[in-house]
Structure 1
Amino acid sequence: MNGHKGQVVGYVRVSAVDQNEARQVAALGDVDRLFSEKVSGKNVRDRPQLQEMLAYVREGDLVRVKSPDRLSRSAGDLIALVEQLKAKGVELEFVDNPSLNTDTPQGAFMLTILAAVAQLERATIRERQAEGIALAKARGVYKREPRLTSEQVAQARDLIATGVPKSVVARKVGCSRQTLYRAMAGPCASG
């Protein structure tokens, strides 16, 4: 990748369990600016260093990452990031997967295929979910998340008031966090 006019910006991500970022940093070589974070990476929005890097890069810059999985855990998110960078005039280089680099016709082709696969995957998942729900309803076994009793809601409120995290409270009363949030805000929450 010699055609870029701006800075070479490196991005590394290690999970909380895999604390050593040295291998990724070494693989990137010389960079003008390095963004590094220690998070699981499942959700792109929950990665402050990635968001900062996206805001930092300018037209002509090159973002260098060791491999696509360091940037994103899903093909859909990866494609969205590639598009976001492309819109800013920023190229993307994967040290371990040069066939995906955005400055080559082969890379653009591979990313187009990846985008199509991600789109098909999302459509297939939605279709399977709808089929599964329809079959479960037909068998009479489809039920929404369990409603919390007024006693469980009262217990949850007491625990939250003492500073217990909502995720812990949800496990304690036997529901998801979403169900807990709905119960705390819903009409049956006053009971």
Structure 2
Amino acid sequence: MAGHKGQVVGYVRVSAADQNEARQLEALGAVDRLFSEKVSGKNRDDRVQLQQMLIYVRDGDTVRVKSPDRLARSTTDLLALVEELKTKGVALEFIDNPALNTDTPQGEFMLTVLAAIAQLERKTIRERQAEGIVIAKRKGVYDRVPKLSAEQVELARERIAEGVPKAKVARDLDVSRQTLYAALNGSGKYAEVS
């Protein structure tokens, strides 16, 4: 993968909690060009040095980082960066995690496994969201508005107090008896109304 004049490009990132980059620099050893990030940005866009490094690297270069967490904030972030560098013909080397180096068959395999895990995570999150919506709908949380207005509920109370059967009141209001009972008890969607 390495071209004839490939450079070794170092990338270090110090978090707000640990402003000491000496350990990372020592681990990296001699590099042709160093990009050093001082911010603890959660967002890739906050990390100016990372962006500059991605623009700087050329086919045949190797990006050397102490560990994956210095480069990426999540598995998904890491995989996106690996893919971006791979497209440019740039290898990625992790001092602390050589098993993830992109220029080895083991590294390729490990990253494939990571990609599968990240995909599973995203799928699980989506499924949980979908389940949550189904449960919420079942509980009636997602129903847009209560079928009866506060005025109608008040009117129903008055009629029932006058002795009109609840079944008739419900029929007249064109709602089910359950809806009427919920409205009268101030339960479910009617908790806020009554």
SS at structure 2 position matched to 1:10: strand
Q: Which amino acid aligns with 2:90?
A: V
The equivalent residue for 1:64 is 64
Task: Describe the superposition over 1:134-181 as per-residue Cα deviations: whole angstroms up to 9, x where unpaired.
Answer: 2123223459xxxxxxxxxxxxxxxxxxxxxxxxxxxxxxxxxxxxxx
Q: Which amino acid aligns with 2:31?
A: V
SS at structure 1 position matched to 2:37: strand
The equivalent residue for 1:123 is 123
CA contact (8 A) 2:2 2:61 kept: no
Question: Runs in 1 of length 4+ with deviation above 4 angstroms?
Answer: none
Which moved further from structure 2: 41-50 or 117-126?
41-50
CA contact (8 A) 1:9 1:64 kept: yes
Q: Which amino acid aligns with 1:63?
A: V
Q: Residues 1-191 of structure 1: matches in 2 within 5 Å?
A: 3=2, 5=4, 6-141=6-141
Q: Based on CA coordinates, which of the two structures has the bigger radius of gyration?
A: 2
TM-score by length of 1: 0.70
Unaligned stretches of 5+ in structure 1?
144-191
**Deviation, structure 1 residue 16:** 1.8
| Number of residue pairs aligned between Structure 1 and Structure 2 | 143
CA contact (8 A) 2:82 2:92 kept: yes
**Deviation, structure 1 residue 64:** 0.1
Q: Matches of 2:38 and 2:133 in 1, distance apart?
A: 37
Q: Matches of 2:26 and 2:78 in 1, distance apart?
A: 23
Q: Matches of 2:26 and 2:41 in 1, distance apart?
A: 20
Which moved further from structure 2: 48-57 or 72-81?
72-81
Q: Matches of 1:30 and 1:67 in 2, distance apart?
A: 16
TM-score by length of 2: 0.69
CA contact (8 A) 1:9 1:31 kept: yes
CA contact (8 A) 1:13 1:70 kept: yes
**Deviation, structure 1 residue 19:** 1.0
Unaligned stretches of 5+ in structure 2?
144-194
